[in-house]
Amino acid sequence: MRNVVASDFSLAACQAAIFTPDGDASAKRFSLEFPKRWQTVFDGSPVILPPLQAPVEVPRTILQSTTGWHCEMAPARFNLHWRQLSDAPSTPLASFLNTAMPLMVEYISEMKARVGRIALIITRYTKHDSPGRFLATHFCRDRWLTAPFNRPEDFELHAHKKYPITSKLVVNSWVRNKTAFMTSAAGNVPVIVVEQDLNTLTEEIDTRDFSEVEIREFCNTASGEFDQILSLYYPENT
């Protein structure tokens, strides 16, 4: 059975989120400003919802693209998504951040929004003929591999930590290891998927006011932290 190390994984998707609890609930500002400004990134037709009596987390404007980008704007939250398109060259996380950071900064400036939380989420994958069996063998003691984990078709392991990522910032760190299938021209291909989520604390959302410099620092630090975490789960030398 093939071993898996950190360098085997490719980036499948990224998400950056900023939480703006004091955000303006006016749908008009979302719908008029950003679809026109960001057409080079979001070349699809925007989805603009009419004024809603809805929770402030519900998107009022959704921007789409033919290149894997997706944006959701809600009064209390701004999400940027990117996913790897089939057969496209692999994209590094730095490329996602190079596009995402200016959009987030412009959005915050235009909306005059206070940012109370930040999150960065990435999904990576690697092909494997027996992903369930490998994950069980990789993470479990031998005593569990005869039963009940002797022939798992699917397997998941989730872990959560809370720790300081910088001298001034404590984050939640989620890591999810699981089996999945990737759609390709050859059909459904079995893969191992690792989802990593670094986010600032929910309990600090009412007191934090992240500046542009702090947001950039978080994203840049998280980028390196993701690789270090992955190397702990799938070390190169075992």
Kindly report the CA angle at 115 between 219 and 122, in degrees rounded to 5?
A: 35
Distances (CA, A) of 180 to 134, 190, 226: 13, 6, 21
pLDDT band at 153 (very low <50, low <70, confident <90, very high): low
pLDDT band at 227 (very low <50, low <70, confident <90, very high): very high
Q: Which of 31-35, 39-43, 139-143, 152-156 has the lowest mean pLDDT?
A: 139-143
- Using the predicted structure, report yes or no on whether residue 145 has a pLDDT greater than 60: no
Write down the residue that tokens 């929910």 correspond to: 202
- Helix/strand/coil for 91: coil
Q: Quick one: three-class SS letters along 190-224?
A: EEEEEEEEEEECHHHCCCCCCCHHHHHHHHHHHHH
Higher pLDDT, 168 or 228: 228
pLDDT band at 88 (very low <50, low <70, confident <90, very high): low
Whole-angstrom distance, CA of residue 58 vs CA of residue 93: 27
- Using the predicted structure, report yes or no on whether residue 213 has a pLDDT greater than 80: yes
Please say whether the beta carbons of 10 and 192 come within 8 A.
no
- Using the predicted structure, report yes or no on whether residue 143 has a pLDDT greater than 70: no
Whole-angstrom distance, CA of residue 206 vs CA of residue 190: 43
Please say whether the beta carbons of 78 and 72 come within 8 A.
yes
- Using the predicted structure, report yes or no on whether residue 224 has a pLDDT greater than 90: yes
| Average of per-residue pLDDT across 29-48 | 86
What residue ranges do the domains of the chain occupy? 6-18+119-205+212-233
Whole-angstrom distance, CA of residue 40 vs CA of residue 50: 25
- Using the predicted structure, report yes or no on whether residue 37 has a pLDDT greater than 60: yes
3-state percent breakdown (helix, strand, coil) of the chain, nearest 5? 30, 35, 35
Q: Which of 65-69, 161-165, 185-189, 228-232 has the lowest mean pLDDT?
A: 185-189
pLDDT band at 149 (very low <50, low <70, confident <90, very high): low
Alpha helices in the chain (DSSP H): 27-37, 93-111, 131-139, 212-233
pLDDT band at 18 (very low <50, low <70, confident <90, very high): very high
| Average of per-residue pLDDT across 92-102 | 93
Kindly report the CA angle at 17 between 14 and 18, in degrees rounded to 5?
A: 155
Higher pLDDT, 79 or 53: 79
Q: Which of 90-94, 95-99, 170-174 has the lowest mean pLDDT?
A: 90-94
- Using the predicted structure, report yes or no on whether residue 27 has a pLDDT greater than 60: no
Whole-angstrom distance, CA of residue 33 vs CA of residue 46: 12
Confidence at residue 228, expressed as pLDDT on a 0 to 100 scale: 95
Please provide the average confidence, as pLDDT, over all residues in the chain: 88
